[in-house]
Amino acid sequence: MYQNHCAKTFVNLCSRCSSFGKAISPATSNGFSRLLRPTLAIALVSTAVIGCTPAHAQTDSLYVSNPYGGSVTSFDSSGAGTPFVTGVFGNALGVAISGGNLYVADQGQGYIDKYNGNGVGSIFYDTLPNTPIALAADNAGNIYATTYSGVLKINSSGVASQFNVSGDLSGAFGMAYYDGNVYVSNANYNTIEEFNSAGVGHQFNVSGDLNAPIGLAFDSSGNLYVANVGDNTIEEFNSSGVGTQFNVSGDLNSPQGLAFDNAGNLFVGNSGDGTIEEFNSSGVGTQFNTTPNPGSVAFLAFGELTSSNVASTPEPGLLGLFSSLSLAGIGFIVRHKRKLQAV
């Protein structure tokens, strides 16, 4: 059952329009610039929706962030998509699940947003002057975010600190957490960096083929899967960092986002054509989404949202509206107004 709710929206000049729509700076090596197009993020979550979008029953769903439209779309088990949040983000990228809440990296405006199981959102952390890209969550409720300057660690109270104290990062766009360690994809170096809980890093991959790696995801056995946007492949690494190609069939078009469901199926977001490919454990892929996705594709997360594990109160409205203004050649100006209240 779907039920429509609509939040009040306003059109105003944006006091932060200079931060809206910030592009990821071009890479300087390995022909990587094409993957720096705005991307999507996918998360398998259980949630309900408010705002100017339909509300959903709380069941596992696949959530895809659309940086072009500043929105998040949910896909049910049949592959049908429904808008979850629209007109809120400047450039929605990474996602992570922690404590029954969905965290979304708004790279365009420099925020990390937090949504509860009812779809009620608030600003969790303002990363400016850095901009968040990929997100990951550990078992203690900490959120990790890749930025242009490294990796931030943000505790459940929204207090941040620099996480990486050593290691080599360049073009750090994808991230995953597993068994106490944080893994970051180095798109410029074609490597995966592994950080322990103290932020000490070293190169994880010892073999295998990496070509502009982005999205990362772990299966239940501790194997790491990496999306190679450079050659349209998925690489699987065992715990020793030995890699082999995973996909044996299926259609990949600049793959970026990765996420596993509870049955062990791997979902891959194709940034090149806006489709989502589903792979079984043998690497056989078929197209998952039956409803076209309104954009491209990138980072993923799996989990279930709840309405009880929420640390913020509902805001009066999730405000955000793209307005095309012709006055003096201004172009697109957005105001993203939010109100935060602590419980």
Calculate the CA 159 to chain-centre distance: 21
| pLDDT for res 36 | 36
Q: Which residues contact 218 (CB under 8 A, 6 or more apart)?
A: 176, 178, 224, 225, 260
What is the tally of helices (H) and strands (E) in the chain?
0, 29
Neighbours of 330 (CB within 10 A): 12
pTM for the complete prediction? 0.74
Name the DSSP class of 169: -
| pLDDT for res 60 | 79
| pLDDT for res 324 | 29
Q: Which domains does the chain have, with CATH numbers?
A: 3-21+34-333 (2.120.10.30)
Burial class (CB in 10 A: 0-12, 13-18, 19+), 219: middle
Strand ranges of the sheet holding 172-178, from the earlier edge strand across to the other edge? 172-178, 181-186, 191-195, 201-203
DSSP-derived pairing of the beta strands 41-46 and 299-302: parallel
| pLDDT for res 339 | 34
For the stretch 209-245, pLDDT in tens is: 999 999 999 999 999 999 999 999 999 999 999 999 9
| pLDDT for res 166 | 93
Q: For the chain, 343 residues long, give each residue's pLDDT as a single digit of tens.
A: 223 333 322 222 233 333 333 333 333 334 333 333 333 343 333 322 333 333 443 567 887 877 777 777 778 888 888 777 777 777 888 888 888 888 999 988 899 999 887 778 899 999 777 889 999 999 999 999 998 779 999 999 999 999 999 999 998 889 999 999 999 999 999 999 999 999 999 999 999 999 999 999 999 999 999 999 999 999 999 999 999 999 999 999 999 889 999 999 999 988 888 889 999 999 999 999 887 665 676 666 677 777 644 333 333 332 222 222 222 222 322 333 333 333 3
